[in-house]
Each structure stands twice: as C-alpha cells, then as structure tokens.
Structure 1
Amino acid sequence: MSEEFSHGYALLIGVGESAYPRLSLPVTVKDTQAIYAALIDPELCAYAKDHIRVLNNEEATRDKILDGLKWLQESANTDKEATIFVYYSGHGWLNKDDNRYYLLQHDIKVREMPASALSAEVFTEALRQIPAERLLVVIDSCHAAGMATSKDP
C-alpha cells in the first residue's frame, strides 16, 4: 500500500495520567502511540496524519473527547466515504447503584464520579451522530461490555 488512505479518520484516546493519581494507567499512552504508528504507516493503513486526533494524558478530558467525536461527525458529513475509528484505552467504571457504565477520563472528579465521568449514554449518543457507513469503536477498559449498544435505536 503506497498511496494515502484519504477517507480514514481516527480519534485515539489514552487516559494515561489521571488528575486522580490512583487511576493513572501509563500503558494506555503506549497503546495509542502503537495504534497511531500503524495507522500512519504507508505499508499498513496509510491514514493522513491530519486525519488522526490523539488525546493522551491531560488532553484526554471529557470535553476534548466529546469535541473529538464532534470532529469525526463533521468529517463524516464532509466525506461520504469516511471510515471512522475510535479507540479508548483507560478505566471503565460500572456504577453499582444504578448499573450505568462510565469511561473515566483524565479530569474525573472521584467524589463526583457519575456527574463528572463520561457516561456510556453520552458517548454512545455522540457516536450515533457520526453518519459513517464504516464506524469501528474499540473500548479497552474494565467493564467494557457496559458500552455495548447498537447504532440503530
């Protein structure tokens, strides 16, 4: 493969360092770096570098993740042949009080987990707004099965 894959777009999220140190997972940054390297490799995926957003450590905030998903939505609106890839590596949390699932981004407030974490509902709704025919989402976290819902309502 020698020509660039101009229809590929990716959002890679590696929470790594957390504002709450006990939740830090440095290996997640290595995951996103390895995936980024594969995506831009002209012999593998050949994505354009400007079609990939990487949010590692302090950049992996709730707002920046949602902004990244909005960017993917806009990219898919502009490019009808878009292939979208979203990768999240970090902690997941299942709230046993209400059985709801959350992604724990960098700026989590531990004493306000349900209010400050990125809920599966909000994340999934943002994904549903991406009009791509090819959308691949990989969640590398504990309790990731809590994210499983269909794109169609």
Structure 2
Amino acid sequence: MSLQLTEGGSRELKARMAEIVRLREEAEQRQKAEKARKAREAEAEKARAAEMARMKREAEDARKAEIARTAEIASLKQALEARLKAGGPGGKNALPDMSGVDFGRYHALVIGIEDYKHLPKLQTAVNDAVTVAQVLKKEYGFKVTLLLDPDHGEVIDAFDEYREKLGPTDNLLIYYVGHGWLDEDSDRGYWLPVDAKPKRRSRWVSNATITDTLKALSAKHVMVVADS
C-alpha cells in the first residue's frame, strides 16, 4: 500500500516541519541565553566577592597603618619629651628652674608625600605629616615648616633655607613620611619627592645629600625621623 500526498498536504507537512525546526532553534537560543545569563551572574558574584575582599584588606591595612602611626607619634613625643627635659623651647615640659638659660629656637621641617606623579600613591602620608606638625607646634612650641607633596627642588630649597637661618644654639627636627628607596648595589638610601620617577635618580634625594646638609648646619642639635 502506498501513501501519496496531495500538493496541499505536502505544503502543510513542510510547514509543520519548518515550525518544528523553528521551535527547536528558539529553544536552543533560550538555553544559550539562560546559560550566558547564569555565567554573567556568576562572574558578577565573583567580582563582588573580590571587591569585598579588597575592601576588607584595605580596611585592615588602614587599621594597621593607623596603629603604626599612633605608635610612631607616641614614640616621637617620648623622644621630644626626653629632649625637652634637658631644656626646651618653653613648652609645658621644660624645666622651670632652667628658664634663664638660652636653649635656642626649636625648628621642625615636616615633609609628607602621597600624591606621587610617577609612583604608587600613598594613603596617609599627608595626614601623618599634618598630625606631627600640629603636635610639634601646639604641644612643644616648635616653629614648623610643613611641606606637603613637595618636589625635589622644594625639598632641597628647604634644606638650604635652614642652612642659612639656623644659629649655633638652634635645634632642628626633620620628619619625613613618603616613599623611600635603598640602592643595594651602592648601599645608599633615597627619599623620593612627589616628582620622583622609577629608576631615575635625578629627582631623588640621597642620604648623602641629607648628611651633607646636616653637616653644614650650624644647629646645636638635629634629629631626623624618616618613615619611608
């Protein structure tokens, strides 16, 4: 027995087959779209988890930095108090029975650098410098020069200005917070001003420059504190 389709029946069968193919393709497209959506959601969740982990690390780093900064300031205050017990600029810790002795002026050069142009930026250097400057000025009577994000020339100029104005009875504290670099080949350290470039020493301030400056000062006492 043979089955013959009329022309109309053949067209109807082809139409049904085409509809089945279309529905199958649409189902496959929906499956692909659903798979892609789930993949995007998984990637987004992964990114959110990574961001949360990053924020947690940054918060922990900030907490540790604050603890270290507080400890450093406390240590600096202790050192200053010890110095002032031997005679100071007339602050609350100076010995009253030595008020007639000329202990000279107390100066402080405070440098804080964080907004680097060519190096990774720091987070708390400027705040640390401002805090130290306020402590020195308000609690210990220092005359403070505060340099925030200075370039190489501004640091050297500040050194030269103190070289010109300090006398033999004056005292100077230099506090630096910012990037530092140790050249292990030459065994020489550097402070890195805001315009310093990696592997280019033309804008670095070497320990030799700092030492030469200190030797040339007429000051009676000089203290250097570097957080780099």
Partners in 1 of 2:209 and 2:198 — Cα distance?
19
1:35 and 2:127 are equivalent in the alignment: no
Aligned length: 129
The structure whose residues are more often strand, as a share, is 1
The Cα RMSD (Å) is 2.1
* Residues 54-93 of structure 1 mapped to structure 2, 5 A cutoff: 54-57=146-149, 60-77=150-167, 80-93=168-181
Whether the 8 Å contact between 1:66 and 1:126 is mirrored in structure 2 is no
Whether the 8 Å contact between 1:93 and 1:104 is mirrored in structure 2 is yes
TM-score (structure 1 length as normaliser):
0.75
Could you say what secondary structure the match of 2:182 adopts?
strand
RCO comparison, higher one (Cα < 8 Å, 6+): 1
Compute the displacement of 1:21 (Å): 4.5
For structure 1, the residue ranges without an aligned partner over 5 or more in a row are 142-153
Whether the 8 Å contact between 1:14 and 1:31 is mirrored in structure 2 is yes
Whether the 8 Å contact between 1:76 and 1:82 is mirrored in structure 2 is yes
Partners in 1 of 2:163 and 2:202 — Cα distance?
25
For structure 2, the residue ranges without an aligned partner over 5 or more in a row are 1-90, 93-102
Whether the 8 Å contact between 2:104 and 2:169 is mirrored in structure 1 is no
Per-residue CA distance 1:38-94 (angstroms, 9 max, x = gap): 1121xx2022xxx3211112xx211111111112122213xx321111111011111
1:103 and 2:191 are equivalent in the alignment: yes
Could you say what secondary structure the match of 1:32 adopts?
helix
Q: Identity of aligned pairs, percent?
A: 26
TM-score (structure 2 length as normaliser):
0.52
Whether the 8 Å contact between 1:10 and 1:72 is mirrored in structure 2 is no
Give the match for residue 65 of structure 2. Answer: none
Could you say what secondary structure the match of 1:108 adopts?
coil
Moved over 4 A (4+): none
